[in-house]
Amino acid sequence: MDAAPGDMRKGLHVITWGCQMNVYDSARMTDVLRPLGYRPVDTPDAADMVILNTCHIRDRAAEKVFSELGRLRVVKDARATQGRRTVLAVAGCVAQAEGREILARAPFVDIVLGPQTYHRLPEMVARASRAAGAVIDTDFPAEQKFDFLPDTQAPQTPGGVTSFLTIQEGCDKFCSFCVVPYTRGAEASRPVASVLAEARRMVDAGAREITLLGQNVNAYHGAAPDGRVWGLARLAEALSAIPGLARIRYTTSHPRDMDDALIAAHRDLPALMPFLHLPVQSGSDRILDAMNRGHTAAQYLELVHRLREARPDIALSSDFIVGHPGETDADFEATMQLIRDVGFAQAFSFKYSPRPGTPAAGAALQVPEPVKDARLQALQALLRTQQDAFNDATVGRTLPVLFTGRGRKPGQISGRSPYLQAVHVDGPDSLIGQITDVEIAERLTNSLSGTLVQERAFA
């Protein structure tokens, strides 16, 4: 859909990399540009504005951005020959960390903006259309972007049955390896009233599950209407009182912020799903210390123990980094042991990659690449065994599944178990948006298949 002459409508194409927070931010940028006439389009050549929402967390992020920019330059030039302008914007964490370099290497970029300044996007677009040069805005402004972004009218995630809601941003933890405190800035929480209002709108628009997002979501401390500051547990309690909201999840958490109230919430709130992504990164105290994580392996195990006391079936997920500077074979073995001790339902694992400007990047004793490769392989093999074992243990059980959309095969619908497992069944589209019991029949590579209990009863 291209803008016809005289038409106020303009095409907007957003390319998103990285975490769910970026997915959420892309939806918000689309929202702030709507009043200017921008509507989403599927391809860059139909777009009057293209935004690359970037991620800087691991390797080669900037290179990916530059190669995409190379492709977009061709599109921009082609459109220019037809007299059509294309505003190119680079947003997100690469923009924050490497804004000046982007403009130096890709001078055809019009706007560079960091994650804290999305509410100023309309003004930047106006300036970019007037100015000859590029507009750069990677401040950490005193005003909060949460105070300026419009509340959405409807969930922006496809399907809308499960929605993501950012409640917290930034991080003050300064893990040795991580760019987030530099790109996303200091920890900040959104006020309770605004979170509840957005959640209600999402539910009105059909959401049955909301995942609360934040880089350090369990550090949440939002100003509440009662004049107090609420933690995540209190917020989850208030959310669980919203009629029609059946499921609440949150991600990503830090072990240090897993307080008693939040552990108790896993026992007391049926809507709080029995799944927790709680990154530990390493099982070696020496490396945890070098990473500045602020906890030991034993403290993590103790947390897991208390969570399982509160909610015995809770499924655990984690992030791991292998090859952090200084990691020896013994350190790596301690990580393997922690994994054996916990038993994870799923996990993400990465080779350490130096991020410029972070303390670990300059550390002595960088681990050679082949050693990292071997460690990652061994770690992933162990995690795969655990994930399969966790999924196998649900075969034969009946689980409530929230159906979110059609499956890949005709006549199939798919959804999620309480433990975030993907589940496919043969069933009618009318069940999409509903929670229905499914008897799990089989484990596939990364999902489960089953049969609808209701249908069997009537068969």
Minimum CB distance to ligand SF4, residue 110 (Å): 30
Q: Distance between CA atoms of 20 and 27, rounded to whole angstroms?
A: 11
Minimum CB distance to ligand 5AD, residue 21 (Å): 11
Among ligand 5AD, ligand SF4, none, what does residue 350 contact (CB within 5–8 Å per kind)? ligand 5AD
Minimum CB distance to ligand SF4, residue 384 (Å): 23
Per-residue x/- marks for ligand 5AD, 118-157, CB under 6 A? ----------------------------------------
| Segment holding 140, helix H or strand E | none
Among ligand SF4, ligand 5AD, none, what does residue 342 contact (CB within 5–8 Å per kind)? none
181 binds ligand 5AD (CB under 6 A): no
Give residue 26's Cα distance to chain centre.
12
369 is in an annotated binding site: no
> Which residues sit opposite 84 in a β-bridge?
none
55 is in an annotated binding site: yes
Q: Which of residues 281, 387, 394, 436 is near ligand 5AD by CB under 6 A?
A: 281
218 binds ligand 5AD (CB under 6 A): no
Lookup result for tokens 């399982």: 308
> Which residues sit opposite 248 in a β-bridge?
210, 272
Burial of 117 (C-beta count, 10 Å sphere; 0-12/13-18/19+): buried
Which residues 34-93 are close enough to bind ligand 5AD by CB under 6 A?
Answer: 57-58
Among ligand 5AD, ligand SF4, none, what does residue 181 contact (CB within 5–8 Å per kind)? ligand SF4
121 is in an annotated binding site: no
Task: Output the CA angle 41-42-46, nearest 5 degrees.
Answer: 60
- Nearest one of 240, 304, 234, 243 to 276, comparing CA atoms: 304
Residue type, 458: F
Among ligand 5AD, ligand SF4, none, what does residue 96 contact (CB within 5–8 Å per kind)? none
- Nearest one of 131, 127, 197, 120 to 165, comparing CA atoms: 197
26 is in an annotated binding site: no
Cβ atoms of residues 413 and 407 within 8 Å: yes
Minimum CB distance to ligand 5AD, residue 207 (Å): 25
Minimum CB distance to ligand SF4, residue 172 (Å): 8
Interface positions with ligand SF4 (CB under 6 A): 171, 173-175, 178, 180-181, 215-216, 254
Q: Distance between CA atoms of 391 and 398, rounded to whole angstroms?
A: 13
Q: Which of residues 72, 217, 321, 383 is near ligand 5AD by CB under 6 A?
A: 321
Burial of 364 (C-beta count, 10 Å sphere; 0-12/13-18/19+): exposed
- Nearest one of 149, 138, 154 to 207, comparing CA atoms: 154
- Give the residue closest to ligand 5AD by C-beta: 319
Q: Distance between CA atoms of 216 and 156, rounded to whole angstroms?
A: 22
Residues that bind ligand 5AD (CB under 6 A): 57-58, 177-178, 279, 281, 319, 321, 350, 352-353, 355
| Residues that constitute the known binding site | 19, 55, 93, 171, 175, 178
